[in-house]
Amino acid sequence: MPEDSIFETKGVKKNFMFVCNKAPYGTIYALEALEMIMISAAFEQHAVIVFIDDGVFQIKKGHNTKSTGMKNFSPTFGVVSMEKEDADEDDEIDMVWRIVVEKESIEARGLSEEDLVLETEVLSSGELSDLMAKQDVILTS
Amino acid sequence: MRILNVVNKSPFERNCLESCLRLANSGSSILLIEDGVYAALGNTAKSTLIKNDQKNLGFYVLINDLDARGLSEAPMIDSISRVDYDGFVDLVVDHDSIHSWL
């Protein structure tokens, strides 16, 4: 394989689903998922970003990590929002992004849409299940 | 589209299997590997998770991980098929995509 073709991504376009299912800060998974999401934007890929289970705590408003000495990555979700808006509004960008939370997961944790830093689509398990079946690649982290 | 859902965590420690069962499409498959194989046992407090499946899912468990944990002779849930590494590969080939429930 010629060396210059190893990272040939031109024209490669897939439907990615990123399933965020873990609480922030306790482990590195949430931050790593966010990295994957931002990288998928750099490669202009279609993405559905899903928050289920304790993953919904990642986008809870009002994180303040100052006294724990950990990086507060909550503001990065603002960048995710901006990427989605750019993709929605700019015809030059061939990228469709959706941000989804599972209804059952937020309800089980006493949260509602107003508690979240992102504007999200709230889908039931059944609706989310159907959406999952339409993806090319599903990554849970 | 048929998804092969791979679960590698014990149902006693984590809720991956429960989430997987909640979100799996009917007709898709679930393969239990590593600590996920504990969910295949037929006489535990978590056996009902798989026994009560209403979605007609296909259930598989990796023999090698059962053996490693001393579970080859343990009572298994009837609806679960045992596969070895070759069977694992066949499952991967037979499905459209893979979802690892980390």
**Which residues of B, range 4-43, sit inside 8 Å of A by Cβ?**
15-16, 19, 22-25, 28
Decide: helix, strand or coil at residue A90: coil
Scanning every residue of chain B, which has its alpha carbon at the shortest distance from the alpha carbon of A137? B97
Question: What are A68-113's pLDDT values in tens digits?
Answer: 888 998 999 999 999 999 999 999 999 999 999 999 999 999 999 9
Give the structural domain span for B42.
3-101
What value does the mean pLDDT take over residues A124-141? Answer: 97
For residues A19 and A51, give the distance between their C-alpha atoms in angstroms, rounded to a whole number: 6
Q: How many domains does chain B have?
A: 1
Scanning every residue of chain B, which has its alpha carbon at the shortest distance from the alpha carbon of A15? B97
Q: Report the CATH number at residue B31.
A: 3.40.1260.10
Match 């694992």 to its residue by tokens: B88
Instruction: State the ipTM, two decimals.
Output: 0.82
Q: Residue A7's pLDDT is what?
A: 73
Angle at B3 between CA B22 and CA B56, to 5 degrees: 55
b/e for A42-63, b at 16 or more Cβ within 10 A? eeebbbbbbbbbbbbbbbbeeb
Any residues with CB less than 8 A from the CB of B22 and at least 6 apart, and which? A104, A125, A129
pLDDT mean across residues, chain B: 96
- In CATH, the number for domain A5-140 is 3.40.1260.10
- Quote the pTM value: 0.88
